[in-house]
Amino acid sequence: MPEGSEAVSVRLNVDATGTHAPFLLAKANGWYEDEGLAVKFGEGNGSDSTVALIDAGDDDIGIAGFDAVAVLRSKGAAVKVVGGWEQRSPLAIVTAEESEIQEPTDLEGATVVMDQGDIPLFEAYASRAGIDASAVDTVTMTEAAQSAALAAGRIDGILGWTTYHSPQVAKLTGGVQTILWSDSDFELMNLGIIANDDTIANDSDMLCGFVRASYKGLEAAQEDPDGAIDALVEEFPNLDPEIAKGQLVNMFELLVTDDTEGKPLGWVAESDIAEGVEILSEAGNPIEAEPADLFDNSCYPDA
């Protein structure tokens, strides 16, 4: 660790994927060091676990899903979003390239794989997209079997993420189509940079230094996605670079919402948070917290 640097532990939401590449690009380019930080990234075990670790102070900063932040803050976790990473939802219906499913209502009569726990969220999406959810045949299947079943025509689609499932399907089947939920008035932030209330209040120099360097990495990754993937694979060598690049590139369409347009990357709009709270409530997860208490824009004083 460079002399005088502050050690910072960052917990990812899951095992490293292409969506995390900009953080590693920032690290490789020395931009955290420029902020006086020695940053170490650790892989996660799901957003709920990451939120719990940040709440307890076991790690300094986390990358986690907004839904986990909202639900767990409602239950007492002192954690907020301090920067939106995927401001739009990556949730999508993933289909084969030659699929006749071209728009949301084409799902009626189709067979779509989804976890049982995702059905309430799908029903909330269906209501907004004008789909008769009862006309969609939902089935469950192990994740390992889903892409092969789609390629073989045994199913019509997968409820998945453009930043995770789509590149995997494309590599296996040679092509992919997606129906992005956020194109149907389904605005639910996915990943955000998170910190606990104590860190926000008492270590803002560290926190905002991390935020600044991370979004510098995100901007640079858009200019040089291959370089970002090289930095990611250097740190996490077991990743498939082709799939990781697809995940990263697909994330680029999720960075800005209508209400954050023209603001710095990562700045969060309270209206988007309120919309996310409404969607979670529609899906059976009422949030007992005010939207303004779920995020903090203090690292963007001039926005």
CATH number at residue 271: 3.40.190.10
Strands of the sheet containing 111-113, edge to edge, are: 137-139, 111-113, 157-161, 91-96, 176-180
Q: Tell me what pLDDT residue 143 has.
A: 82
Q: Tell me what pLDDT residue 3 has.
A: 67
Global model pTM greater than 0.75? yes
Using alpha carbons, list the distances in angstroms from residue 16 to 24, 41, 232, 259, 282: 10, 9, 8, 29, 30
Residue 288 lies in a domain: yes
Residue by residue, pLDDT tens for the chain (303 residues) are 566 789 999 999 999 999 999 999 999 999 999 999 999 999 999 999 999 999 999 999 999 999 999 999 999 999 999 999 999 999 999 998 889 999 999 999 999 999 988 999 999 999 999 999 999 999 999 988 888 898 888 999 999 999 988 998 888 878 899 999 999 999 999 999 999 999 999 999 999 999 999 999 999 999 999 999 999 999 999 999 999 999 999 999 999 999 999 999 999 999 999 999 999 999 999 999 999 999 999 999 988
Residue 302 lies in a domain: no
Tokens of 39: 């940053």
Residue 48 lies in a domain: yes
Asked if residue 22 lies in contact with residue 220, where contact means CB atoms within 8 angstroms, the answer is yes
Q: Tell me what pLDDT residue 148 has.
A: 85
CA distance 228 to 250: 14
Domain-terminating residue out of 154, 184, 214: 184
Domain that holds residue 179: 91-184
Same domain, 284 and 217: yes
Domain-terminating residue out of 184, 215, 231: 184
Residue 61 lies in a domain: yes
Same domain, 169 and 201: no
Same domain, 11 and 61: yes
Same domain, 58 and 14: yes
Q: What are phi and psi of 154, to 5 degrees?
A: -80, -20
Same domain, 75 and 111: no
Same domain, 26 and 157: no
**Residue count of the chain:** 303
Q: What domain count does the chain have?
A: 2
Same domain, 126 and 250: no
Q: Tell me what pLDDT residue 195 has.
A: 98
CA distance 55 to 75: 12
Q: Tell me what pLDDT residue 259 has.
A: 97
Q: Which of 70, 27, 81 is nearest to 286 (CA)?
A: 70
Residue 245 lies in a domain: yes
Using alpha carbons, list the distances in angstroms from residue 140 to 74, 111, 112, 144, 181: 30, 10, 8, 12, 20
CA distance 299 to 280: 26
Tokens of 113: 């794989």
Q: Tell me what pLDDT residue 5 has.
A: 87
Helices (H), the chain: 21-28, 31-34, 47-56, 66-74, 119-129, 143-151, 165-173, 197-202, 204-223, 225-235, 241-251, 270-282
Q: Tell me what pLDDT residue 2 has.
A: 63
Residue 95 lies in a domain: yes
Q: Which of 53, 56, 58, 77 is nearest to 67 (CA)?
A: 77
Tokens of 36: 């006086």
CA distance 80 to 193: 9
Residue 263 lies in a domain: yes
Q: What angle do CA 255, 61, 259 make, to 5 degrees?
A: 25
Same domain, 84 and 203: yes
Same domain, 198 and 137: no
CA atoms within 13 A on the CB side of 228: 30
DSSP letters for 224-260? -HHHHHHHHHHHSTTS-HHHHHHHHHHHGGGS--TTT
Q: What are phi and psi of 58, to 5 degrees?
A: -70, -30
Same domain, 99 and 236: no
Same domain, 194 and 80: yes
Domain-terminating residue out of 154, 169, 184: 184
Same domain, 155 and 223: no
Residue 1 lies in a domain: no
CB-neighbour burial class of residue 105 (10 A; exposed 0-12, middle 13-18, buried 19+): middle
Q: Tell me what pLDDT residue 165 has.
A: 86
